[in-house]
Structure 1
Amino acid sequence: MNFLSVNIRGLGSDDKGTWIRKLRTANEIGFIMLQETQFASLEGFDLGKFWGQGVFDCDWVDATGRSGGLVSLWDPKRFSVSQVIKNRHFLCIRGVSNDDGKVFSVVNVYAPQRLRDKRVVWADIEGIIAQDSAFWVIGGDFNCVRDRTERRNSKFNALVSNEFNEFIDKVQMHEFSLKGRKFTYVSGNKCSRIDRMFVSWNFVNEWPNAEYRALAREESDHCPLVLKIEARNFGPKSFRFFNSWLQREGLSDLVEKACSEEVGNATAQIALMQKFRKLKASIIDWKKGWTSVEEEEEVNLKAEIRDLDEIVDDRDLTEAQLWVFDEAKNRVRELGNFKKKDMQQKSRIRWAREGG
């Protein structure tokens, strides 16, 4: 089972739902941890837009006003929950992996700012971990770093870091080498690594080659963190026709041409099937033509965003680079909106197939 953790900085935006849903699908995530929901109550809120296709279970800790808030979502076919422990600053989900029968405890953390409050949270989590020898995964926004090199242009508090490191040592947690980014939170030229994921040592022994990666920031100031211990391939997707294509230039001419071509001496039924096959192939080629341009543009923009993110690891961005970074993110978001109609159609089809 793969894990995703991200400080989402508010659940309200549909773009964030699309973002998390894509991350889950692309990385085959079985358990999601979201921090800083900023919702005082999630009763009646549609968390399905963050999960996407398929069934899921979830639990949450409400925010205090607009501060904090946690949500955990998981695949019930792969993870059977036995206990939930809630705290204002963490959410612990205990259960059994249906894949292999291993007992997991997953702790979603959004730590407080003040040191004295952190001490209470560290002690509470330590008390829970001491109760059993499950496979532990602890992820979230800890609002502190482990050493001075993990901050730039922001205040470093040695006492906070020392006590955080002592807590990690006491609970005997391990952090895999992080790939992808040096800093997980970037706001302007302020950088830090306050988001992390830890695992127990029995987890390390079981999955020593687990991949731990910080992904690109797109809808939040925080990088999504992925802990991947498996990879699955469910094969190619079938051909689908989307209503939005009817507004694309050239489709009418393509259909007319494909349907008017001769197919030789054949019965009416066979001729119709042959025309359908040719029409399908023509539509696929046509779609590739106009999507390739947009896909190339999106790839280039995301590469530019990644390059600027890497520059931030070494120095401050100039005003011009900050402008390019913001404009590139806006254009990527705009391209994503072009696909929203297709996503809505997929949702309606799924609703019709699976029921409301």
Structure 2
Amino acid sequence: MWDSELFDYRESVKKMNFIIIKGWLKGYNEVLSVVNVYAPQSTRAKQDLWNEIQAEMASEEGYWIIAGDFNAVRVREERRNSEFKPSCPRNFNNFIHNKGLVEFYNSWLKKEGLEDVVKSAAASFKFSGEPDLFLSKKLAFIRSKIKIWRDEMIEKEGEEERRVRDDLERLEELMETRNLSKDEEWTFAECNKVLKDLSLKKGEDLRQRSRIKWAIDGDENSNSSTRLSTRERHLTTFQVYLLTIFG
């Protein structure tokens, strides 16, 4: 389940709705605790879960990664096809704030090809050396491959947007002189759909950058004494690992 050259397993904690794996990061002399969460349905049960995890975190210093199914949202807009209960996100946000957790979400995870790039880079990497240097070199290697994939993806999406806008401009010119045929109407609708999807993706990227900036710099409206230092921050969701690679 883990690379024994990088992680030295110490113990595990098994509870109803979470499992914690604890051990030492070799080469760093730091404790790493990884929590796999499967949150219950009810708001009260989730609050009990957040309290229990907070108690575990208070008993162990070091780095924390909390991942899994939290069965909760942070804002109303994230709720889909179910009832929105304000107390649930309020409790969840309090849990995140109280423990200095930083949520990292990466919109690239939805894009086709990223997983294959990471797996291929990780499998092809070769290096001999100390565990900490090995990890640093491996992450740098994966990051370089992701950057190539990112540049190609951005270029591809840019070409698609330019093509769609050209098609829309041509159809709009036709609409000034005659009615569109059924095929042209379909093309017109599909072009608008593509532009809307591309706009939503850009919006996700912008929100992600804002969250990263806040996590690094702190809330500009908050007192500097309340901002978290890099060492004090805990880590939430497994996406944080990929984000560290992206830089």
Give the structure-1-normalised TM-score: 0.32
- Higher CA-based Rg: 1
Structure 2 length as normaliser, TM-score? Answer: 0.45
Normalized per residue, the structure richer in helix is 2
Structure with more strand by fraction:
1
Whose RCO is larger (CA < 8 A, sep 6+)? 2
